[in-house]
Amino acid sequence: MAKEMSKVSLNNQQSYPWYSLFFRNGHLLVLSIMVLVVAGLSAINNIPRLEDPRIDNRNVLVITPYPGASAERVEALVTDVIEDELRQLYEINEINSTSRSGTSVVSIELQAWVNNSSNEQIFSKIRDGLNNAKLKFPQGAGDPFFDERRGATAFTLLVGLQAASGYTTPLSIISRMAEHLSDQLRNVPGTELVRIYGELDEEIQVTINPQQLTSSGLTIAQASQLIAGADPKVPAGMMYSTEQNMRMQVAQELDSVSTIRDLPLRVTEQGGYLRIGDIATVEKGPRLPVNDIGLVNGEQVIFVASRMQATLRVDTWTKNAKEIVDKFNNQYGGSIQANIVFEQNSYTETRLSELTINLLLGSLVVMAVVFIFMGIKASWIVGLSLPLCAAFAIFSLSFFDEQIHQMSIFGIIIAIGLLIDNAIVITDEIRSKLVNPDISRIDALTQSIQHLFVPLLASTLTTILGFMPIFLLPGNIGDFIGSIAISVVMALIGSLFISLTIIAALAARFLPRKLDVSSAWYSIGIQAPSISLGYRNALEKALKRPLLGVLVCIAISVSGFILAGQLGNVFFPSADRDQFEIYLWMPEGTAINETQIVVNSVDELIRKKPQVAQLSWLVGGSFPSVYYNQVMNKDNSSHYAHGVVKAKSVSNAKVLIGQLQTELDQAFPQSKIVVRAFGQGPPVSAPVGLKNIWTRYQYVKPPR
């Protein structure tokens, strides 16, 4: 008899659908919950953590020096040649150029479909085009510098080096120590890029005495060729023997004053040597004028900017990098001090903490609403779906090479109201089935799922399809907001699966079989029969008079569109950040020292504000990026300065932007100054762009 009962039980067990297995097997139910929780916690600890999403590199810069040439010559002989070569590449979407005296800057934007998996091949084509263009450059033009590391990505750590308090360490020494610190930061695991800004380049200057040069029978060109011939980069010749052929080269590099001073120019009649030092003064000094000047709170510094790879957690990398900075200060702190000017990790932790708190508050509000209207047991069953779906969504980010940042967390926050619907519907349906004493718990589960499977699947698919345009959006905008769609879609998929399996099994196991109206409200939820009756009557009237119901729905929708017109029309709002930017332009051709004088005056005015915590500048170029969409497209611009102001709070920063713009315009009418808040979204140089196109006409003076 026992064998027959076991067979019957086994047959009955096999007749149930697969999703009932979570109800019939308690160990599987608990194990599934544990797996989801562990997977979510593991993803939180291991998935890269950033402040903002990384945007694929589609913007590059080509910088070509042409010393001594006017802007017109630079455009005609260098810039146009580069543009003609690069326009042959269909992968390039747009080319913008700026030609200044002595410098050509060409900005290249690739097509929107280009991503990090295909851009390196395109970069190789651009390099080939630049090599072809270089062959057409005039004599005196330098090699084009192709910079593909200026993507829309902020530096992770920015360090400012300056002389220690009470010391007057030369800037040349600080520049050498900046190179040393940059080498150490490059050795930190996961470092992607390290660059130095504001350093002082040194060169060996040879000043020839014209009279002594004439008496030696040499010309400046000949002396220059003799010095170049002593360069160890140039082969000195070959020595052939019966056993071996040996390549010869200069033993000493031209890196010291004494080496160049002792270079022989010619053999004298007395059998001696005429050296460079006999007819010239050789000394080592700074290369003037400098390319850029770094300032922090009015003190000149040299910036060492480092950026980590996107496959790491920012807190882990920052900890290792700060240990290197601390060791540097312990070793050289007596004469040089390395201070952290910007640390992205602090902003990342703040941003993710705020979003996590919003996620928890949203979950608590949802659980509170469910508790009020469905009771305590239903509320914890429905509420359990929130952390499980969030864990599934975060774990699935690794499948798309995504990171934990504000957009991915924001997507989960958006999905809270969507993913809870499946759990509420399936829990309420099972609860209504359990009231019938003729239906077993497992039958209540299977009947409820069979009844709701198609509607829940259709509802989930339609919502997913609504987010697919964002999911498939190409270009910089797609890189920025695509994480929202990924989080929402994966949360919805997880919600459907978890609701049909784990939530349904928990509801069928633990919900009461009887709903006693006299029970406490926290057991069954608040009952409002009058509201239910009114809603029922409204539905009956709408069904009896469908035209009226359609008109009411249309009126509500139209009123929504009308009211939407009263809202601000901003697709990407300004960032809630305690930092903002300042751009300063002097007239074209202004020397960098003159620009620095104006910057010092602006700096002094701004730092008098009690709300300002720190003010940093880079005179002569774009400030190292401290925000993901900050555009760095200015180089060798002696008339330009770029500053970043850090306020004591976000509210102080918002107040300062308007005040400073007015005050700076009045105090410095000789310069153009723009105070700008950091904004969300992909990089945009300006909210509105204007392009002027004209044809050059030659003016011919009419005859009298």
Residue ranges and CATH numbers for the domains of the chain are 2-46+375-527 (1.20.1640.10), 56-151 (3.30.70.1430), 202-232+251-286 (3.30.2090.10), 579-677 (3.30.70.1430)
List, for residues 508-541, the tens digit of each pLDDT value: 888 887 766 566 666 667 777 778 788 888 888 8
Q: How far is Cα 380 from Cα 562, in angstroms, rounded to an integer?
A: 40
List, for residues 644-669, the tens digit of each pLDDT value: 999 999 889 999 998 999 999 999 99
Cross-strand pairs, 579: 646
Beta-strand relationship, 273-275 and 280-286: unpaired
The token pair that represents 452 in the structure block: 């709701």
Banded model confidence at residue 439, pLDDT cuts 50, 70, 90: confident
Q: How far is Cα 439 from Cα 447, in angstroms, rounded to an integer?
A: 9
pTM check: above 0.75? yes
Q: How far is Cα 314 from Cα 321, in angstroms, rounded to an integer?
A: 10
Unique residue bearing structure tokens 């697919």: 468
Q: How far is Cα 617 from Cα 355, in angstroms, rounded to an integer?
A: 31
Q: How far is Cα 272 from Cα 263, in angstroms, rounded to an integer?
A: 13
Residue 47 is predicted with a pLDDT of 86
- What secondary structure, in 3-state letters, does 271-335 show? CCEEEHHHHEEEEEEECCCCCCEEEECCEEEEEEEEEECCCCCHHHHHHHHHHHHHHHHHHHCCC
Identify whether 289 is preceded by a cis peptide bond (ω within 30 of 0): yes
User: Could you report how far apart the first and last alpha carbons of the chain are, in Å?
Assistant: 129
- CB burial string 130-163: b at 16+ within 10 A, e below: beebbeebeeebbebebebebbbbbbbbbbbbbb
Number of C-beta neighbours around residue 168 at 10 A: 7
Q: Which of 403, 310, 354, 347 is nearest to 158 (CA)?
A: 347
Q: Cβ(111)–Cβ(103) under 8 Å?
A: no
Banded model confidence at residue 80, pLDDT cuts 50, 70, 90: very high
Banded model confidence at residue 262, pLDDT cuts 50, 70, 90: confident
Chain CA centroid to CA 238, Å: 52
Number of C-beta neighbours around residue 276 at 10 A: 21
Residue 493 is predicted with a pLDDT of 92
- DSSP character at residue 59: E
Q: Which residues contact residue 596 at a Cβ distance below 8 angstroms, ignoring those fewer than 6 apart?
A: 293, 619, 641
Q: How far is Cα 128 from Cα 118, in angstroms, rounded to an integer?
A: 16
**Strand arrangement, sheet containing 92-100:** 92-100, 103-110, 59-65, 145-147
Q: Where is average pLDDT lowest: 250-254, 383-387, 591-595?
A: 250-254
Q: Where is average pLDDT lowest: 111-115, 276-280, 299-303, 568-572?
A: 568-572
Banded model confidence at residue 3, pLDDT cuts 50, 70, 90: very low
Q: Which residues contact residue 300 at a Cβ distance below 8 angstroms, ignoring those fewer than 6 apart?
A: 162, 171, 198, 293, 294
Higher per-residue pLDDT: 140 or 227: 140
Q: Which amino acid makes up residue 215?
A: S
Longest dimension (CA), the chain: 129
Beta-strand relationship, 299-308 and 280-286: unpaired
**Which phi and psi (to 5°) does residue 681 adopt?**
95, 180
Average confidence score pLDDT of the chain = 83
Q: Cβ(557)–Cβ(409) under 8 Å?
A: no
Q: How far is Cα 310 from Cα 324, in angstroms, rounded to an integer?
A: 20
Evaluate if residue 570 carries a pLDDT over 70.
no
The radius of gyration of the chain from alpha carbons, rounded to an integer in Å, stands at 35
- CB burial class (10 A; 0-12, 13-18, 19+) of residue 543? exposed
Q: Which of 143, 103, 75, 73 is nearest to 291 (CA)?
A: 103
Residue 528 is predicted with a pLDDT of 73
List, for residues 125-134, the tens digit of each pLDDT value: 999 999 999 9
Higher per-residue pLDDT: 128 or 474: 128
Q: Which of helix, strand or coil describes residue 180?
A: helix
What are the C-alpha distances in Å from 145 to residues 126, 197, 319, 424, 550?
Answer: 11, 16, 33, 60, 65
Unique residue bearing structure tokens 């330098």: 142
Give me the helix-helix angle, 344-374 and 406-434, nearest 10°.
10
Q: Which of 617, 632, 631 is nearest to 584 (CA)?
A: 617
Evaluate if residue 417 carries a pLDDT over 80.
no
Residue 84 is predicted with a pLDDT of 92
Q: Which of helix, strand or coil describes residue 342?
A: strand
Q: Cβ(148)–Cβ(123) under 8 Å?
A: yes
**Which phi and psi (to 5°) does residue 130 adopt?**
-70, -35
